[in-house]
Chain A
Amino acid sequence: MCGIAGVLERKSGVVDRWMLQRMVSALSHRGPDGQGIHIDREIGLGHTRLSIIDLAGGKQPMSNPEGTIWIAFNGEIFNYIELRAGLVNRGWCFTTKSDTEVILRLYEERGEDCVHELNGQWAFAIWDTRQNKLFLSRDRMGVRPLFYAITADRLMFASEIKALFAGSTDLDRRIDLEALDQIFTFWVTLPPRTAFKGISQLPPGHSMIVHEGVTRIVKYWQPSYEPEGTEDSPSVVKILTEELLSLLQDATRIRLRSDVPVGAYLSGGIDSSLITALIQRAHKGALRTFSVAFDDAEFDESSYQQQASAFLNTDHKQIRCSYQDIGEVFPEVVWHAEQPILRTAPAPLFRLSSLVHESGFKVVLTGEGADEILGGYDIFMEAKIRRFWAANPNSRRRPLLLKKLYPYMQNLQTQSGEYLRSFFHVTESNQQSPFFSHLPRWQLTSMLKVFFSQDVRSQLASHDVYRDVQAALPPEYAGWPHFCQAEYLETAYLLPGYILSSQGDRMAMAHSIEGRYPFLDHRIVKFAGQLSPSLKMKVLNQKFLLKHAAEGLIPPEIVRRPKQPYRAPDGKSFFQPNALPYVEELLSLDKIIGAGIFDPSAVSALVKKFKAGRAIGVKDNMALVGILSTQLLTESFVDRFHPGARISWSNSATNCAISS
């Protein structure tokens, strides 16, 4: 795991070494074990290394022995051993034991189609001197990031946006208002858009080819849903459970390939407990596991974590988070996330990766991805109930099922059934919407736009985020079952755009930790896409098939427990009840007017409400975190960007410093 950066000088044909060096240096947190640069006329490739496989031989940028093809690669190819054996059989020679060289040889053999053979998580750049061709690729699910900027002079690319800004002062560092409009609806930008104007991301499952002055972006993979039959008899369930378990075991096995020790995250839920159990089956020696615990009992899952650790016989360590801990690290969290976020949930994960790093680990396996592909999210259940109710709108009994939703949200549970009916009310036009499942979430989130300044609102007056997402959908979408449409929206957008980035890669790599996700092995994603929705959610039983697979392998209490999604305290982390000094400053009249994005009087009314302890609703909390993170982003990337450094906020409201 590492960071990559590069530049293709299309106009001058000459690479500025210092520019590339600045880009690589801005990524040093991703790879503290070494740096390398390769420049050849118009191309420059840079790499910063976290050595995990072939510690001695895996230096990058790397070339084939002939020196005709060069690569800078961030990630892991988990099936590299099998691929290498096949290549050797077909007569290819190797000089290292690394997975990097396997990509090189596979590219030599198959060209851009090589990606179809790879099982892994990657972002790489290949420079083919034989054809003067640049080939960039990003893994299927979007585990590893890859950003780029195209200007009149050059193409620049890097693992993080800060490297692009560090490299070139020509880039206009501005928040993209249409991106903000998307985030304040969907929680993410729709790729290739990012939070910054002029900066794009290569979408998951895509490659970019730059050849003879033409840039092509090609989709090589997407999540797909072709349920085979609807039978869910016990014998079918048994066969499919065995198949799922065997795929998961293999996905876990190859994700343990590493020349350094591997640990695991243990959240106290089914997904990470099952992965830990499967690691224990394949792993020799003691296994170290890690988790987040909260002072606030509403969010804490310690007892389940300890139960899982005892049952699975792991050596467990946790990091405890108070409100203040979250509030204090939040500026760093946003610096790494590089986009506005509406929840503080990434912050504890930032602290967790620090614990893992201090414990001497570089790699962790986690349970991420199961909720998206195997029917775990409440939004799927919510949509199912709403649709069931809409089929018989006069039924008094059907909407009572809404009570089953969100058992962990205390404020919501105190509402009467009548209230839930009103909130989840389904209209005729909702039913026809391709986004039926997501409308309650998106409409609620869109209400945060009342905080946008008049100027921003008028600039966005003609922008329609629903048109954006409609245009992004693949043509097959309309033909998929409703349940799968909801899964696609989660898997294609929220997963890479938030879960794997703001909660995943960015928080882990902030402390040089690589996350590996067995559930996101493409063989399992494909298998899940062929399952009947009733095997993912049987009536309202979430992750039905996965629970069968986990039976006997993890504590029964964990299989049976009600789902508790991972969340962290939001507003309380910043107001205790006075605002933390940096919060006070960034939400002050001057700073809000200066940034120009939000309405000063609306923000001051919100701040007042938090100080009075009256802001308890979901909407107010999302608004606060969204506004604060946008202000932090403006401060550290737009107003006072400092290459390879971040603004550190001292305890004094007016005193902040830049540190490297």
Chain B
Amino acid sequence: MEQLSNELRNFIVENFLFGQSSDFSDNDSFLKTRIIDSTGVVELISWVEESYGIRVEDDEIVPDNLDSINKLSRFIERKTCVSR
């Protein structure tokens, strides 16, 4: 879990903050903190699908699954468990 959180954090920092800041907590909402704009969600999903070999269904594209490091890592854990 911790390794996954770190990977996610690295991706968010590199890809959306261009390595410039990591000053947010694992519970902070990406949208409310404006780290990701609403058009950037598509980017996040493609990366998650590609990196973890999972498919994010349309009805799973909700902030409860994707909108913080913690939510995202729980979601990925769940999905990868199922697919195994």
Contact = CB atoms under 8 A, between A and B. Distances in A.
Interface in B9-47: 14-21, 29, 31-32, 34-43
A172 interface: no
Given A411-B39, A419-B41, A609-B15, A599 B34 contact: no
Contacts of A443: 34
A607 to B, nearest CB: 10
B15 to A, nearest CB: 7
A593 interface: no
A18 interface: no
B32 A606 contact: no
B47 to A, nearest CB: 9
Contacts of B18: 450-451, 599, 601-603, 605-606
Given A416-B61, A418-B63, A606-B18, A447 B41 contact: no
Given A450-B20, A450-B21, A616 B43 contact: yes
Given A415-B61, A447-B34, A451-B20, A617 B14 contact: no
A409 interface: yes
Interface residues of B, number: 27
A41 interface: no
**In terms of DSSP, what is the predominant structure of the interface of chain A?**
helix
B79 to A, nearest CB: 17
Contacts of B34: 443-444, 446-447
Interface in B43-83: 43, 58, 61-64, 67
Contacts of A601: 18-19
A587 to B, nearest CB: 13
B29 A411 contact: no
Interface hub of A409, A418, A618 (most chain B Cβ within 10 A)? A418
Given A450-B17, A451-B18, A418 B42 contact: no
Q: How large is the interface on A (under 10, 10 to 19, 20 to 34, 35 or more residues)?
A: 20 to 34
B39 to A, nearest CB: 4
B39 A409 contact: yes
B55 to A, nearest CB: 16
Contact of A415 (B20, B29, B35, B41): B41
Interface in A583-611: 599, 601-603, 605-606, 609
Contacts of B31: 419, 422-423, 425
A283 interface: no
Contacts of B15: 609, 614
A158 B41 CA distance: 46
Interface in A186-234: none
A414 interface: yes
B38 A412 contact: yes
Given A415-B41, A446-B34, A605-B19, 20 more contacts: A416-B58, A422-B63, A423-B32, A423-B38, A443-B34, A444-B37, A447-B34, A447-B35, A447-B37, A451-B20, A599-B18, A599-B20, A614-B15, A614-B43, A616-B42, A616-B43, A617-B39, A617-B43, A619-B16, A620-B40
Interface of A: 409, 411-412, 414-416, 418-423, 425, 443-444, 446-447, 450-451, 599, 601-603, 605-606, 609, 614, 616-620
Give the 9 A-B CB pairs with smallest separation, nearest first: A617-B40, A602-B18, A411-B39, A450-B20, A418-B62, A422-B31, A422-B63, A605-B18, A423-B38
